[in-house]
Amino acid sequence: MKHRHIPSLSVITALGLALLPGSALAQQKTLKDQLVGTWTLVSAESIEPNGTKFPLVKGTPMKGFQVFTADGRVSFQVIGDHARVASNDRTKMTPEEMKATAESILSYFGTYTVNEAEKSYTVRIESSSFQNQTANPGKRMVELNGDDLKVTNPGRLAGGQTIMVWKRAK
């Protein structure tokens, strides 16, 4: 008489759950693992302490791009539409062109660390188009749902907060 070895039901169930793409086991990535990658901007607005809302940068359409690397580097750009420079030389802009450019661009790079428990990350900006940002680390609160990322900066330098919505680039 031959004996068949039949795996226990619990082993089969565990294996089946692990292989399902939407299973709880497949969704247990860390926040940092979920952040890593390239994100494109959906919207970005600043909210003053009195509740007044306005775009993060001037000029429509507003476009943006953010990259988080696995080794803790971040690069961030948000640029609103603005006029071309008449001289075709960025070093020879008029005061009006300089103002329009400065108000329509926010760009920085640096490092980030993730606080899994708080669902936040802290960015340490090395260099920015708005140099005031390099003085202190900035905390960002995160809501992540698949390929949708909402980032809230509760400590905007001018007061209030900034809310940005991003979509994972494909």
For the question of whether the overall pTM of this predicted structure is more than 0.85, the answer is: no
Using alpha carbons, list the distances in angstroms from residue 4 to 1, 7, 104.
10, 10, 71
Q: What percent of the chain has pLDDT over 70?
A: 84
Share of the chain above pLDDT 90, in %: 82
92 CB neighbour count, 10 Å cutoff: 10
pLDDT score of 28: 82
Which pLDDT score, from 0 to 100, does residue 12 have? 45
Residue type, 44: A
Please state the rounded mean pLDDT for residues 63-75.
98
pLDDT tens for each residue of 146-158: 999 999 999 999 9
Domains of the chain are 29-168 (2.40.128.280)
Q: Which of 146, 148, 169, 150 is nearest to 161 (CA)?
A: 150
First vs last C-alpha separation in the chain: 57
Q: Assess contact for 140 and 123: CB atoms under 8 A.
A: yes
CA-based nearest residue to 32, from 109, 112, 137, 107? 112
Cβ–Cβ under 8 Å, residues 123 and 142 = no
